A and B are shown apart, each in its own frame.
Chain A
Amino acid sequence: DVKVTQSSRYLVKRTGEKVFLECVQDMDHENMFWYRQDPGLGLRLIYFSYDVKMKEKGDIPEGYSVSREKKERFSLILESASTNQTSMYLCASIPGLAGRFNEQFFGPGTRLTVL
């Protein structure tokens, strides 16, 4: 059974703190994604990675960075958390280019609150 796990379901941090969100997938997928989800805005892509040590900016990368040192793990880093980064963060993975109709598998999400 495919599985994408995220390190925390709920997280509360203070403004200015450095925050690490971890995502692990056990499906040997090449591509991994970080989204944030806000009411009325839907899912917005922050960063994605198509291979180890490779990363690409999504639509809203400002204030975030990512790390992919191993194929199964994709980390999202908030260098200095701000209140406008309070959101639901979703990680997803998908196999490589071989299948155009491949499904994105999502993790359960991390609800981050920045005070």
Chain B
Amino acid sequence: KNQVEQSPQSLIILEGKNCTLQCNYTVSPFSNLRWYKQDTGRGPVSLTIMTFSENTKSNGRYTATLDADTKQSSLHITASQLSDSASYICVVSGVLNTGNQFYFGTGTSLTVIP
């Protein structure tokens, strides 16, 4: 069964600290993995995309990793800011003849406190 699991469910950190969010998946065949940030009351916005051949990709203070062999991805946030408080959703795309099929994790709720 194609699944995406994220951990932890929620996280509270102090401003300025680093944190790492995890995403494990069983989706096959695999096309790509995206990390989305969803602010409260807003729609998700893509932070980064990881394809099969990519191990690490950075977007400012966000760094995503992908291990396609173990089917694990992580999102590392450096020097957290209050504006990083949001839900982070891992979305894995599987490949179908008709296009991509999207599998959503349930998200990690991050709260950054001063």
Residues on A facing B (Cβ under 8 Å): 4, 9, 31, 40-45, 50, 90, 92, 94, 96-97, 100-104, 106-109, 111
Contact = CB atoms under 8 A, between A and B. Distances in A.
Nearest to B109: A39
Contact of A106 (B44, B93, B95, B107): B44
Contact of B31 (A45, A101, A109): A101
B32 interface: yes
B22 interface: no
A41 B106 CA distance: 6
Nearest to A107: B43
A31 B32 CA distance: 18
B89 A43 contact: yes
B49 interface: yes
Given A42-B89, A43-B104, A103 B34 contact: yes
Contacts, number: 53
A31 B41 contact: no
Contact residue range for chain B?
A: 20 to 34
Contacts of B51: 101
A108 B89 CA distance: 15
A100 B31 contact: yes
8 contacts: A40-B106, A42-B107, A50-B99, A100-B31, A100-B95, A101-B31, A101-B51, A106-B43
B99 A97 contact: yes
B99 A42 contact: no
Interface of B: 31-32, 34, 41-46, 49, 51, 89, 91, 93, 95, 98-100, 102, 104-107
Nearest to A100: B31
B85 to A, nearest CB: 16
B54 to A, nearest CB: 11
Given A100-B32, A101-B49, A50 B102 contact: no
B43 to A, nearest CB: 3
Nearest to B46: A103
Given A42-B89, A42-B104, A103-B49, A108 B99 contact: no
A74 to B, nearest CB: 14
